[in-house]
A = this chain, B = another copy of it.
Amino acid sequence: MDINVVNALTYEDFVKLFGNVVEKCPLISAAIWSHRPFKDLADIEAHITEFIIRLPDSGKAGILRCHPDLAGRDLQSGTLTRESQEEQSRAGMTTLDSAEVLQMYRLNSEYKERFGFPFVICARLNKKADIVGQLSERLKNDRAAERERAIEEVKKICSLRLRNIVLSDIQTKL
């Protein structure tokens, strides 16, 4: 997708296309539409990052709280967003055996109890074993450091989702 095509989108089409690059936070894409014209995809990404960074700590935690658990209730009940479903599936979260499901449930619960938000990791960049490992490891962080750490993962997820939208659009056009 050419950046001129993106810059020509109405806010309605822009939010429809990019509304879930930050999970369940269409507010963010809707906000950065104000900064058109964008120079390129990196410029869109930079505006999203800027918006997130300037939020108060509660807002950053709020972004995290809009994310589903990995291998959690939404996956079991089929209520994940399309993007999350795809990412969790690729990371092997949909084919865990019952012992692994229980392990994820326990670690997720411990994490949420400790931090007040869910464990967020860019599933596309991590395999199953790495995810479990990092979940155990990051449980040792203090809350402020872990919030920032998790927001870094949100940015990675956002970056890949942005790229994915552009690529699928080109594929549709071919």
Give the interface of A toward B (CB within 8 A).
Answer: 10-12, 15, 24-35, 51, 54-59, 61-63, 65-66, 112, 116-117
B32 touches A65 (CB 8 A): no
Number of copies: 2
Task: Assess A117 versus B11: contact at CB under 8 Å? Given A24-B26, A34-B57.
Answer: yes
Q: Return the contact of A35 from the options B15, B58, B63, B117 (Cβ within 8 A).
A: B58
Q: Return the contact of A11 from the options B30, B51, B65 (Cβ within 8 A).
A: B65
Task: Tell me the bound Cα distance from A25 to B32 in angstroms.
Answer: 15
Task: Tell me the bound Cα distance from A14 to B51 in angstroms.
Answer: 24
Q: Chain B residues with Cβ under 8 A from A55's Cβ? A: 31
